């Protein structure tokens, strides 16, 4: 889950390391799409709150704060946090800026301040959409009940009239789903940070080395590659046994026969691609290599099937066909990549039948990591036989392409 990242403060709108800031052309592209979707939904004002999930705020304002976005007027940005009173002097996308507190505080009452601004600007009694009231198929997919704080919503509803308030999650979700070239470039930079982290893993992992040491070197590599929020998910264990998935420092040392499944999502100004890479200490058995190869074949099959205009159901069927008459069931695990919590979400134990009929759209981005559920696993998806490899992909006008460049292989650390 993406929460407050400290990206708003005395610096105003800090630039990502080694990456260009988003342009005004990119801002205008987003705002035009948002206003189109607002008009279709008869929404006059769109409000985004930043307290718990910052992705919608970053999308609409390229910084963290409350955004009041009229369908036919200039947006208003309300900043909060330490030194937000100074940050208002550094305009970027939105010129009409203010601080939620006179002297900059880490405890702003966003709801009360937003309600006052709506009253003062005459933006009451209008059909008002608040993002995050519930989940959506394209955003906040892991928060089906939404992320907007109750008290903030209640204060806004009191100001504009509760009968005028509707959910705005779908407006942001549909706008965010189709990416511009600058967003895809930012995701490619996140992939590069992930790949640098995997290089550090391969260089550090050895028999007897503390798992925490390898984990730490992977995080350091992400910092050096320009990530501003670090992420490594680490699932170690012997072949055939259940593995715990650590998203914090893992305990113990690497022993011969240890398999590690990793998922990395280094974040650059909110944008999170993902790479997935399996590793084994020692020589993998024939079954592990077989499963890896079958997963790889499913990846290639899915990539060829992800063509604009085709249905997602066609992709699912193509991936499942890779298993053929052999044992096991191949799952087409994928979900959206972007500012976090992106959809659609196709994961184990979640019904994807409603997604199957949706068309594939160009300029969308996903983590793709098919994996084989084997019959010898005690329960499905327990990572007991996990050698899953995955990469972030973009759907172009002619088909899907990888954003990464690393070789597709099982990382083998063989001490001989």
Domains and CATH numbers, the chain: 24-177 (3.40.350.10), 181-413 (3.90.230.10)
Any residues with CB less than 8 A from the CB of 347 and at least 6 apart, and which? Answer: 333, 335
SS3 label, residue 201: helix
pLDDT of residue 5: 46
SS3 label, residue 399: coil
**Four-point Cα dihedral 134, 140, 143, 147, nearest 10:** -60
pLDDT of residue 349: 80
Spatial distance between the Cα atoms of 257 and 46, rounded to a whole number of angstroms: 54
pLDDT of residue 1: 39
pLDDT of residue 241: 94
* 111-148 confidence digits (pLDDT tens): 999 999 999 999 999 999 999 999 999 999 999 999 99
The CA R_g of the chain, rounded to the nearest whole Å, is 23
Q: Which of 43, 39, 18 is nearest to 133 (CA)?
A: 43
Q: Residue written as tokens 């989940």?
A: 135
pLDDT of residue 293: 96
CA angle 367, 394, 408 (to 5 degrees): 60
Spatial distance between the Cα atoms of 27 and 106, rounded to a whole number of angstroms: 27
Spatial distance between the Cα atoms of 65 and 9, rounded to a whole number of angstroms: 10
- The string of DSSP letters for 305-339 reads H--TTSBHHHHHHHHHHHHTTSSSEEE--EEE-BS
251, exposed or middle or buried, with CB in 10 Å at 0-12, 13-18, 19+? exposed
pTM: 0.95
* 368-377 confidence digits (pLDDT tens): 999 999 999 8
In Å, what is the CA distance from 381 to each residue of 242, 263, 294, 376, 386?
9, 15, 16, 11, 8
pLDDT of residue 6: 41
- pLDDT < 50: residue spans in the chain: 1-9
């Amino acid at each position: 889950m993406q929460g407050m990242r400290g990206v708003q403060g005395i610096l105003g709108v800090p630039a990502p390391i080694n990456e260009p800031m988003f342009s005004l052309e990119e801002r205008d592209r987003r705002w035009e799409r948002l206003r189109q979707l607002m008009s279709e939904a008869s929404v006059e004002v769109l409000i985004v709150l930043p307290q718990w999930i910052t992705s919608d705020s970053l999308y609409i304002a390229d910084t963290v704060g409350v955004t009041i976005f009229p369908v036919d007027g200039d947006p208003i940005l309300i900043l909060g946090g330490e030194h937000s009173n100074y940050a208002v002097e550094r305009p970027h996308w939105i010129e009409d800026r203010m601080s939620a507190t006179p002297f900059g505080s880490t405890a702003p009452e966003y709801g009360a301040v937003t309600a006052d601004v709506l009253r003062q600007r005459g933006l009451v009694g209008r059909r008002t959409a608040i993002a995050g009231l519930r989940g959506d198929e394209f955003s906040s997919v892991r928060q089906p009940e939404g992320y907007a704080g109750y008290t903030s919503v209640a204060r806004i509803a009191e100001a504009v009239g509760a009968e005028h308030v509707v959910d705005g999650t779908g407006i942001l979700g549909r706008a965010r789903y189709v990416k511009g070239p600058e967003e895809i470039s930012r995701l490619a930079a996140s992939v590069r940070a992930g790949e640098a982290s995997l290089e550090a893993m391969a260089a550090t992992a050895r028999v007897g080395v503390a798992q925490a040491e390898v984990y730490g070197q992977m995080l350091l590599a992400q910092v050096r590659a320009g990530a501003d929020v670090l992420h490594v998910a680490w699932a170690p264990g012997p072949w055939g046994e259940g593995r715990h998935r650590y998203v914090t420092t893992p305990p113990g040392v690497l022993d011969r026969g240890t398999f590690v499944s990793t998922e990395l999502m280094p974040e650059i100004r909110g944008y999170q691609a993902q790479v997935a890479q399996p590793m084994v200490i020692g020589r993998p058995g024939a079954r592990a290599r077989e499963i890896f190869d079958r997963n790889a074949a499913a990846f290639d099959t899915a990539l060829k099937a992800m063509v604009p205009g085709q249905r997602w159901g066609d992709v699912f069927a193509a991936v499942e066909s890779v298993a053929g008459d052999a044992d096991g069931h191949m799952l087409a695990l994928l979900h959206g990549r972007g500012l976090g919590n992106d959809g659609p979400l196709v994961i184990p134990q979640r019904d994807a039948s409603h997604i199957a009929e949706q068309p594939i759209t160009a300029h969308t981005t996903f983590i793709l990591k098919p994996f084989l559920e084997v019959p010898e696993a005690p329960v499905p998806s327990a990572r007991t036989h996990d050698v899953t490899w995955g990469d972030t992909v973009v759907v172009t006008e002619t088909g899907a392409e990888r954003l990464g460049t690393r070789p597709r292989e099982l990382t083998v650390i063989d001490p001989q």
